[in-house]
A and B are shown apart, each in its own frame.
Chain A
Amino acid sequence: IVHELDSAMVIFNLNIRPNMVICESGTGSGAMSHCIMRSIAPHGKLHSYEFNQSRAQTAKEEFKRNGVDHLVQVHWRDVCGKGIEGEKKDTGGKEEDELTFGSGGFEIGPAAADAIFLDLPEPWLAVPHAAHTMKSNGSICSYSPCMEQTQRTSQAMRDCGFHSLKTIEVRLREHYVDNVELDTVPTAKIPRDLNVNTFIPGQEPTD
């Protein structure tokens, strides 16, 4: 899942506007998809790719339930190209809802996407496909938790001809606000009784 601050940064830097065509892989929980769809309404299109069949199916149903399925198309596809094309599994669902597995690339033709967002374990494999599908001067964004993935992806992007690379890390700090009353230090001294024995080390206690 992509958290709110990260999704805000991604959408801002990818310069997503109404009526754009965006590609996103993988769909995952669909949180990022909803954020993107909010920004590309009313006539934009989000192509969302997920290589896990059940997740792809769930996402498709969820988008329909939320009333946004005119803005999105879910593909059951491995954009990195590591699966076998044409694999069909029995979904047990309705005929028209069945998705066919595809492998490699984004399938929407060359120079079709305004921006591409990758949230994959091996994004460097998808970068050449992204370069092919991207319109001229489009933006790409890859979201990775590890530095090694980031390094490989940056190198892949440079090799494929992307320019002006920027790598950022953002963190949110939430502040908790409460009213605290500050007292000054109490000035009362401990009362000392004159008849009480005082203990001085090294001497016999006086009685």
Chain B
Amino acid sequence: MSQEANSTSTDSETKNEVQVDPFLVKPSNHVSDGDYVLLLFADRRQIFAQALSSWRGRSPPLKINKRSYNTSNLIGLPYGTVLELDLKNGLIPLPDGEDVIPDQSLLKSLEPCDNDNRDLTDNNKSQKLTEEQLHQLRDDPSISGSAIVQTIIQNSTTFESKTSFSKAKYIKKKQIKYQLRCRLVKCTSSTICEALYLKDARKMMNLREDSLAQILSLSNISAGSKILCFDTACGIVTGACAQRMGGYGSIFSIYTGQAPCFIDLIARFNLSFVEHSSIKWLHSGQLFHDDINAKESGLDYDVIDRNRLVWPCSLQSHTQIYVEKMKDKNYRLEFMTKRASRFARKLTRPSSDEILQMLENKEKKCDSLILACSYDPTATLLSLLPYLETSCPFVVFYEYMEPLIECFREIQKQGLAINLRLTDTWMREYQILPNRTHPNMNMSQNGGFILTGVKLCPTFGKNEIDDEIVKNFRKKSGGKRGKKRQDGSNNSRGDGDKRRKRGKTATNNDEV
């Protein structure tokens, strides 16, 4: 962490103010046009939506329960708003103070009673309303969802004899069906990861959010790092890194196939322009060659094209005619703005050869290496390790443990890294409610495995402790734990327990 030379904040003056880099955009608290948002429903479903004021095609962008809804009324809302699903009008924002579980007052008015379910028979006949009557109520636009729920409760013969917890559960179930509400949540790496893991864990290589959290922490990412990342878990690792680095530094993300195919997911992160441009895409063919010696000589056509562009650039004749024909001034402005931003992107985008040169810069190698790909970890790691700087961490994530075991053994054999650790995590969620605290019913069993280590210098790095160096160090610092012995020797116990020396005990205390 280097001190910024131009940071002038002093403690007393700017306790609360943060000197912000003018290049950076602060994440906003309100939904903007084109932002992706996440809708968290009361029945634990999570749906992505894009807040668009206008869209192409006939059907509106958001689909819930097989019906499509308009999302333009989401623009400008603060995050955290609760929305109610009205079958006719779509999602309606509710005022502050409302919760995803509506009518908290109804739940609170339940008196604690001594009921239990000893007299309850489950014969499906306790609801007096018929199915047709219910459908009529639901399709009637003048009756609100809460009124329907009240009617159902009144017509239930067994409601009064339930326990208060059971009543609350019943009300909640009916409310989810007839008065569906959701909360508008910002798309961040943790919310996106959770939503995708719930939807389709296999596509994401079983990357659960605690594994992703560990990857980000173990790889020591911070603003300004240079990261090499190979990600086939839908691009979520790349997106999370981009968010964590805030636009400072660069992420070299390797893709296979014709073009980077995770653009869709990365768009969900709502990355600012700077954060987006910190991701530099590299094709796998540029790094993994069949024939290492064959270098593609020749001109860099992308750079030549780019150098030909001039800004401000006058419109071509047919474009000029098209623009002049536009009647709406706003439309014309929008068109010209889009054209300008297209040029901006073309002018600032580095070509693939330039990206490769940036990566292969001998003076500054990568600060960390992250692998979350579905290809053989051992071979991939061995070919990408040369790009990593010495004493820097690498993190390999994989769905299953066996390939990582092979990788572990190979690295150990070749002596390429120290501090190798193969771990996985166990995560459990709890429901914390008064008198109803317990772990959740479902818990995921597989969140993937992580192998991490620190790269050793290829020429000087050694994985054993050199006894000579240790002796000299101890003499200088005054024996073990700083205590000098009177006879000048450094032996505390002698060579008794040989197992500890070989590192075979479960608790391997550091002896240095």
Contact = CB atoms under 8 A, between A and B. Distances in A.
Interface of A: 4-5, 7-9, 11-13, 15, 17-21, 35, 37-39, 41-45, 67-68, 70-71, 73, 108-109, 112, 135-137, 147, 150-151, 154-155, 163-175, 177, 179
B210 A170 contact: yes
A110 to B, nearest CB: 10
B47 to A, nearest CB: 16
Which of A38, A42, A70: most chain B CB closer than 10 A?
A42
Contacts of B143: none
Given A38-B1, A41-B224, A12 B212 contact: yes
Contact of B213 (A13, A17, A44): A13
Contact of B244 (A39, A73, A151): A39
Interface residues of B, number: 66
B485 interface: no
B130 interface: no
B213 A9 contact: yes
A163 B409 contact: no
A137 B79 contact: yes
B206 to A, nearest CB: 15
Given A43-B18, A164-B185, A11 B217 contact: yes
Interface stretch (B301-309, B337-345, B423-431): B423-431
A71 B99 CA distance: 37
A170 B427 contact: yes
Contacts of B405: 175, 177
A43 B3 CA distance: 10
Contacts of B190: 12-13, 15
A136 B29 contact: yes
Contacts of A38: 1, 220, 222
Contacts of A147: 437
A39 B222 contact: yes
Interface in B157-213: 183, 185-186, 188-190, 209-210, 212-213
A138 to B, nearest CB: 9
Nearest to A45: B18
Contacts of A70: 3-4, 7, 9
B427 A137 contact: no
A19 B429 CA distance: 30
24 contacts: A8-B214, A8-B218, A9-B209, A11-B213, A12-B209, A15-B188, A15-B190, A18-B244, A19-B26, A35-B217, A38-B1, A38-B220, A39-B244, A41-B224, A43-B18, A70-B9, A73-B15, A136-B80, A137-B29, A151-B432, A163-B99, A168-B429, A174-B422, A175-B401
Given A170-B426, A174-B423, A137 B80 contact: yes
Interface of B: 1, 3-4, 7, 9, 11, 15-16, 18-21, 24, 26-27, 29, 40, 78-80, 99-100, 183, 185-186, 188-190, 209-210, 212-214, 216-218, 220, 222-224, 243-248, 401, 405, 408-409, 412, 421-432, 434, 437, 449
A116 to B, nearest CB: 14
A147 B421 CA distance: 31
A179 B27 CA distance: 50
A17 B186 CA distance: 14
A20 B431 CA distance: 30
B329 to A, nearest CB: 36
A43 B427 CA distance: 33
The 9 closest A-B pairs by CB, nearest first: A8-B217, A18-B246, A12-B213, A167-B430, A154-B432, A8-B213, A18-B223, A15-B188, A175-B422
Contacts of B9: 43, 45, 70
Given A42-B4, A136-B78, A171-B427, 20 more contacts: A8-B214, A8-B218, A12-B190, A18-B245, A19-B21, A19-B246, A21-B18, A37-B1, A38-B220, A41-B224, A44-B18, A108-B16, A136-B80, A154-B432, A163-B80, A170-B427, A173-B425, A174-B421, A175-B405, A179-B409
A112 B17 CA distance: 9
Nearest to A150: B432
Contact of A167 (B218, B422, B432): B432
Given A43-B7, A173-B424, A177-B409, A5 B430 contact: no
A109 B14 CA distance: 12
Contacts of A44: 18
Given A15-B190, A177-B405, A168 B214 contact: no
Contacts of A73: 11, 15
A41 B223 contact: yes
A168 B29 contact: no
Contacts of B78: 136-137
Contacts of B79: 137
A155 B222 CA distance: 35
B222 A41 contact: yes
Given A13-B213, A19-B246, A177-B422, A155 B29 contact: no
A203 to B, nearest CB: 51
Nearest to A175: B422
A85 B197 CA distance: 48
Nearest to B249: A18
Given A70-B4, A163-B80, A169-B428, A151 B423 contact: no
A5 B40 contact: no
Contacts of B409: 177, 179
